[in-house]
Structure 1
Amino acid sequence: MSGRLVKPIKVLIALNTAWNLVNFRSGLIRALVARGYEVVAVAPQDEYADHLAALGCRFVALPMDNGGTHPVHDVLLLLRFRRLFGREKPDVYLGYTVKPNVYGSLAAHSMNIAVINNIAGLGAVFIRDGWLVKLVRGLYKLALRRSSKVFFQNPDDLKLFKDSGLVRPEATELLPGSGIDLNRFEVVPLAQEMHPAGKFRFLLIARMLRDKGVGEFVEAARLIHKRWPQAECCLLGFVDAQNPTAISGTQVDAWVAQGVVNYLGVSDDVRAEIATADCIVLPSYREGTPRTLLEAAAMGRPIITTDAVGCREVVDDGINGYLCKVRNAENLAAKMEQMLSLSQDQRKNMGLRGREKMEREFDEQIVIQKYLNAIDAIFSTRPIKSSMSSYQT
């Protein structure tokens, strides 16, 4: 008697940090594993890599120069991806963030591996203009032209790529950001509701980058302190020295010494920090769909963010938060004062409407199902070659 043993479909997922995998893709990884897929998670080694085994996947470290533009480093990354794919032989590659999307996809296409991309915001380089933007757009066009699916996290980025001819329109689809786990991020009472005598806390959760609007937040905090001494403005997130728009740790320390803001460092469980805040602020210049705002809204926190690509999708102005002008500290301060002027019940209701919006539009299960559908579509039209072996009985 003879037969064929079909090994599980192997999915290789790559991002620029293991931290990103753990914090933003855990739900998807668990869903892929639950479906019986073999999942290999790839990123540079960091202290979060050890957490990935608990999700049921296998971690493979892959060095990459995330913030650099040196052509030799990028060619080496392309070669590392090719060696990795030759060793792992995945059936499908899921790429996130710029370098895995570009160089991982180019390597996968060259080896006839199916590719699904996720354009989760275009970063600092697309905010500006010049030769680097042209180069990155050209690389994206090469990397995405044969992808089975290219997901976008907001309609502006999707339109930009379509209008610029960087992607085949029929391969594109819109996602509600990375989605939010509504069971993990539950509504908790507002901080002032728990501690009425405490200060009102504004909290910005992001990497310490100029393009996240950290500078505008600090300047708005200076203005707020003059009229609202009971208000506290806090920063939470990595000091990312590799990014071209990074704010140095020295600068952050200086702001703290001046009494303008409090720096809370980093957190492995952002829920505890959101719970201590009364309003979450993100004055970013451009985003995919900011996960921190989804988390904040899911926990019933009112939000202030910019009327910018990726940010405006999370806030219905005046309903679950306020939209402010981009790169405008004065307007941001005015919106923060508007939030301070609301009653506790008004802020509570604003937060609850944010939770309702998350349940209606941003549930993580929506994202997961779209990925499962995309993988199903790939293997309904092409055979699984790399994962099959035969046996005799």
Structure 2
Amino acid sequence: MKKICIIVSTPMTVKAFLIKHIKELSKSYEITVVSNSNLQLKDEFNINCFSKSIEIDRKINLLNDIKSVFYLYKFLKKEKFDLVLSVSPKAGLITSIASFLSSTKNRLHFFTGQVWATKKGLFKLLLKSMDKLITKLNTNILVDSHSQRNFLIKEKVISSLKSKVLLSGSISGVDIDKFMFDENIKNNLKNKYQIKNDEIVFMFIGRLNIDKGILDLAKAFEFIFSKYSNIKLFLIGPDEENIVEEIDNLISNKNVIRLDYVNNPEEILNIADVLVLPSYREGFGTIVIEAASMGIPTIASDIYGLSDAVVDKITGFLHNKKDINDMIKKYELAVNNIEQMKEFGINAKKRTYKEFKDEYLSIALKKYIDELLG
């Protein structure tokens, strides 16, 4: 049986995106998962695979990074894997160097977005150079959206011949049995948060930071709240940049509901009428298809990644990036045409069931790896 090593920085990446992939691949290959924690996937998820702990910092730390390359190189050299697959930027960099030095024949990296896309100056150049190095040292590249792949080709980070997108995109699709609308849960949540039947619920789920467009969202809703009294806005996610105080200065009122973190987005989404995602950068936007699976439309930035997840005027609306006036226009369209938004939600669900079921993505990944390994 041929051997595959999957390498990530944190166990969260595995649990959020890779469980179904590992289950599918383990049917034909011996799988080892490397992260900075000794994952117990066999016990927790009933997956037949091995686990190895090697410290990989998410942030740049030269001394620790050199150690990570060394320990990973020794491990790969010893185990002689037929293929290594890395996911996430830092794991990709460490893995590309270690797997190249260990002469692993098939080296595959999965791009899921670029931090440098919104940066400037030397820092952008450094981060972009790292992605170019990842591409150079790997034999094959996967990208989780077609528009992102086009962007990376245009930026001369990857080549068209060396790169591929699985099906319609996303890293692992969506579990439609998990993300399924439940009327009882919705009613319970409406009672809990005192949502009236005539109120429209907008929802943001993600990290609260500048790149997610969270301040633009607050400024847009400052206007929306001044004009409409039947609107609720849920802001769900960790405050990564101490930005909540600034948000509160703009839209601190009873119609804004803040939750620091939810373990089960599939539950809280039941109360949403519209998902909003005004990001400046996204690899794909998995939360969009998770919401879509439950019949929820999305209003999002017209950027690479999100333009794959949202079909404008069919499964939701796209607005210009950083354009608060355009955001307000699209949010008002939703408020004044809620029946149309419900139609968008139905369309989004149909598209998700047709193109983004997690099993489709896992089968496509296995087929791709089967071809690489002959």
TM-score, normalisation: structure 2: 0.86
Counterpart selection for 2:123 from 118, 128, 132: 132
Contact 2:204 2:236 in 1 (8 A): yes
What residue number does 2:96 align with? 105
Match of 1:353 in 2: 347
Query: Is 1:290 the equivalent of 2:281?
Result: no
**How far off is 1:347 after superposition?**
2.8
1:224-243 deviation per Cα after TM superposition (whole angstroms, max 9, x unaligned): 11112221111112334xxx
Q: CA RMSD in A?
A: 2.8
**Correspondences of 1:75-154 after superposition (within 5 Å):** 75-86=66-77, 88-113=79-104, 114-123=106-115, 125-154=116-145
% identical aligned pairs:
20
SS at match of 1:232: strand
- 2:189–2:268 CA contact under 8 A, matched in 1: no
User: Secondary structure in 2 aligned to 1:262?
Assistant: strand
Please say if residues 282 and 305 of structure 1, whose CA atoms lie closer than 8 Å, have aligned partners that are also in contact: yes
* Corresponding letter in the other structure for 2:5: L
Cα distance in 2 for residues equivalent to 1:171 and 1:85: 23
Measured against aligned partners, the alpha-carbon deviations of 1:166-196 in whole angstroms (never above 9, x if no partner) come to 3343221113112222333234459589966
Instruction: Evaluate the alpha carbon distance shift between residue 132 and residue 348 of structure 1 in structure 2; reply closer, same or farther with a 3 A threshold.
Output: same
1:363 aligns with 2:357: yes
User: Quick one: which amino acid aligns to residue 228 of structure 2?
Assistant: W
Q: Which amino acid is the alignment partner of residue 25 of structure 1?
A: L
Classify the secondary structure of the residue corresponding to 1:93.
strand
CA gap 1:373/1:289 in 2 versus in 1, 3 angstroms: same
Q: Distance in 2 between matches of 1:263 and 1:87?
A: 49
Deviation of the 1:268 alpha carbon: 1.8
1:285 Cα deviation from its structure 2 partner: 0.8
User: Aligned partner of 2:222: which letter?
Assistant: R
Choose from 40, 44, 51 the match for 1:54: 44
CA distance in 2, matches of 1:264, 1:334: 26
Distance 1:252 1:222 in 2: 10
CA, structure 1 residues 233+83, in 2 after alignment: closer, same or farther (shift >3 Å)?
farther
Q: Determine if contact 2:147/2:307 at 8 Å carries over to the other structure.
A: no
Equivalent position of 1:27 in the other structure: 20
Answer with 260-269 or 306-315: which moved more.
Answer: 260-269
Query: Could you tell me which residue of structure 2 aligns to residue 213 of structure 1?
Result: 213
Q: Which moved more, 1:205-214 or 1:134-143?
A: 134-143
TM-aligned CA deviation for residue 81 of structure 1: 2.5
Contact 1:255–1:261 (8 Å) recurs in 2:
no
Give the conservation status (yes or no) of the 8 Å contact 1:220–1:329.
yes
Structure with more relative contact order (C-alpha pairs < 8 Å, separation 6 or more): 1
**CA offset at residue 311 of structure 1?**
0.7
SS of alignment partner, residue 55 of structure 2 = coil
Unaligned runs of 5+ in 1: 1-7, 241-245, 381-393
In structure 1, the residue matched to 2:193 is none
User: Are the counterparts in 1 of residues 218 and 247 from structure 2 also a CA contact under 8 Å?
Assistant: no
Cross-structure match for 1:184: 178
Match of 1:228 in 2: 228
Unaligned stretches of 5+ residues in structure 2: 191-195
1:323-372 CA-partner distances (Å, limit 9, x unpaired): 111112332122112111124x4332221100111123323233222321
CA distance change for structure 1 residues 52 and 307 in 2, over 3 Å: closer, same or farther?
Answer: farther
